[in-house]
């Protein structure tokens, strides 16, 4: 990983020294809340890595301006169960979504070092971190335990939550060394999500298409298909089922320029 050797335990067994007086605000809380209210967001994981949407965006204050800090995000398990999507409650398409259920104990998770993302600006001065919003939009999620690109390795159908770590440290060779320094930890329940290889909850998919600025192609494709469908109904008696929905899946492994953007 970027900071040298991996941690071999799934979670830390020690408590780093506490960094006091630091505050973190989730800037896009309202967007995250929309997903949370639809019975937990979903994040696609692929072999090559997929960016999160929404990404985590924060403001930090309370740092010493001239001190150096690392800012990291750890994706931590939020449940000790494996999950399964069972569809709509009450069988109605417009009913409240509540279709995730438990299907046994969680699978063993990758060691902690596989689920930590160091912000690329780290380390930087407290002044730098406080003067600029901090975005984790470059973080990618994968299921590939042999991933060579420092992406975060997760397990499909398991629930996770994003945790922000701010560590006062000038330099560190590995995570074990880094977390001997004073640390502040923050977690936002709104950022809970279930890792999936294909979206399960239709409402979550719609939210991603409607709110992701890079999903313009999906929105235009949906409008175009809607118009063609009704044009066909006006001039023919036959309805073509192939025009009834917006395609929501595509080749997640390809990085070609003409591919739809990640959601």
In this predicted structure, what is the pLDDT of residue 237?
31
Give the chain's end-to-end CA distance (angstroms, integer): 25
pLDDT score at 42: 97
Beta strand ranges found along the chain (DSSP E): 23-26, 41-44, 50-51, 57-61, 68-85, 100-105, 116-118, 124-125, 134-135, 140-142, 152-153, 158-168, 183-187, 193-196
The pTM assigned to this predicted structure is 0.77
pLDDT of residue 8: 47
23-88+96-213: which CATH architecture? Answer: Sandwich (2.60)
Tokens matching residue 39 = 């019975």
pLDDT at 1: 56
Q: Which residue has the tokens 């990618």?
A: 140
Cβ-Cβ contacts under 8 Å for 194 (sequence gap 6 or more)? 40, 41, 42, 43, 83, 100, 157, 158, 159, 160, 200
Contact indicator for 36, 190 with CB cutoff of 8 Å: yes
Cα–Cα dist 24/58, whole Å:
7
d(CA 157, CA 155): 7
User: Which residue in 18, 9, 260, 258 sits closest to 110, CA to CA?
Assistant: 9
Per-residue pLDDT of the chain (263 residues; tens, 9 = 90+): 556 544 444 455 456 788 999 999 999 999 999 999 988 899 999 999 999 999 999 999 999 999 999 999 999 999 999 999 987 654 444 443 458 999 999 999 988 889 999 999 999 999 999 999 999 999 999 999 999 998 999 999 999 999 999 999 999 988 889 999 999 999 999 999 999 999 999 999 999 999 998 776 665 555 444 344 434 434 433 333 322 233 332 233 333 333 334 44
pLDDT of residue 236: 39
Q: Where along the chain do its domains lie?
A: 23-88+96-213
221: enclosing H helix or E strand: helix 216-235
The two structure tokens encoding residue 9? 């335990």
Q: 87-118: b or e for each residue (b if 16 or more CB lie within 10 Å)?
A: ebeeeeeeeebebbeeeeebeebbbbbbbbbb
> Over the stretch 192-248, which tens digit does the pLDDT of each residue have?
999 999 999 999 999 999 999 877 666 555 544 434 443 443 443 333 332 223 333
């Amino acid at each position: 990983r970027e900071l040298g050797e991996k941690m071999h335990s799934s979670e830390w067994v020690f408590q780093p020294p506490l960094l006091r007086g630091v505050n973190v605000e989730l800037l896009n809380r309202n967007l995250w809340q929309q997903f949370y209210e639809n019975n937990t967001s979903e994040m696609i994981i692929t072999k090559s890595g997929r960016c999160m949407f929404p990404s985590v965006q924060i403001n930090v204050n309370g740092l010493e301006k001239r001190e150096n800090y690392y800012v990291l995000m750890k994706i931590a398990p939020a449940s000790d169960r494996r999950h399964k999507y069972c569809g709509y409650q009450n069988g109605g398409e417009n009913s409240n979504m509540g279709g995730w259920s438990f299907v046994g104990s969680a699978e063993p998770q990758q060691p902690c070092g596989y689920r930590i993302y160091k912000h690329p600006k780290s380390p930087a001065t407290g002044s730098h971190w406080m003067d600029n919003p901090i975005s984790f939009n470059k973080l990618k999620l994968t299921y590939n335990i042999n991933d060579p690109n420092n992406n975060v390795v997760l397990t499909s159908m398991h629930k996770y939550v994003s945790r922000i770590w701010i560590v006062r440290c000038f330099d560190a060779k590995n995570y074990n060394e880094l977390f001997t320094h004073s640390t502040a930890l923050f977690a936002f329940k709104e950022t809970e999500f279930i890792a999936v290889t294909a979206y399960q909850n239709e409402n979550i998919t719609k939210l991603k298409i409607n709110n992701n600025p890079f999903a313009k192609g999906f929105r235009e494709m949906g409008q175009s298909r809607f118009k063609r469908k009704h044009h066909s109904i006006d001039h023919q008696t036959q309805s073509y089922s192939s025009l009834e929905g917006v395609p929501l899946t595509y080749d997640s492994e390809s990085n070609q320029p003409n591919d739809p953007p990640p959601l």
